[in-house]
Structure 1
């Protein structure tokens, strides 16, 4: 059991390292929290600001500020929550979908050289890891 916990901790540490490497490799100055927000909206659809703040791991006022910037850029729209007039819902725009697709393509291109030495077995392991993490993410929703 202890070995499994170490593997989980190391997986998290290495994904954080890969995230930093991605930011450096792309030279992209957009804050990671903005990309997390756009990715969540792309994957899960419209969300309440409070829910997004927790998912992005920022305070609600910070998320409101991020949302305002992304709204000004035309990447998201803010609208009323039909179930609660006090709450707002963010929705990804078509421009936001293009931006997230472009960012993912940029990431893939920038990081590909770091993975170029992997053999077919290593790629199979990475693909399996992605499938496992995707399944775990879907189960936790």
Structure 2
């Protein structure tokens, strides 16, 4: 259940309009203020594409056929998030999340990430991959990662 906590950050901190969320297993290699200062416009949040899914045919099929996210390269990894907290609240993200959670009952590898991708699909700012250089044996290491 703890993986869903990040989805409630905008509602838990109504006094803030912007925030950065990082998974606990991250290493910061750059000034985090540079990430915070990223201009994401009216998008609900910013994250990096999930590069690992390119090497997981079953997950790519799920993303395309079940979620309808095309191309699958648009699918983000939510271990690093810049929240537009005001947009999350204004667009009633939590209500949509509860609705989908109640309507569809199925197990998933990354349910929190899947809901963020589904609900916000056209309102996601895609950060440069260096902001979430998740190790993967299928791709070469990044030269100058900002977050690993």
More relative contact order, 1 or 2 (CA 8 Å, 6+ apart): 2
Task: Return the TM-score normalized by structure 2.
Answer: 0.26
Task: Return the TM-score normalized by structure 1.
Answer: 0.27
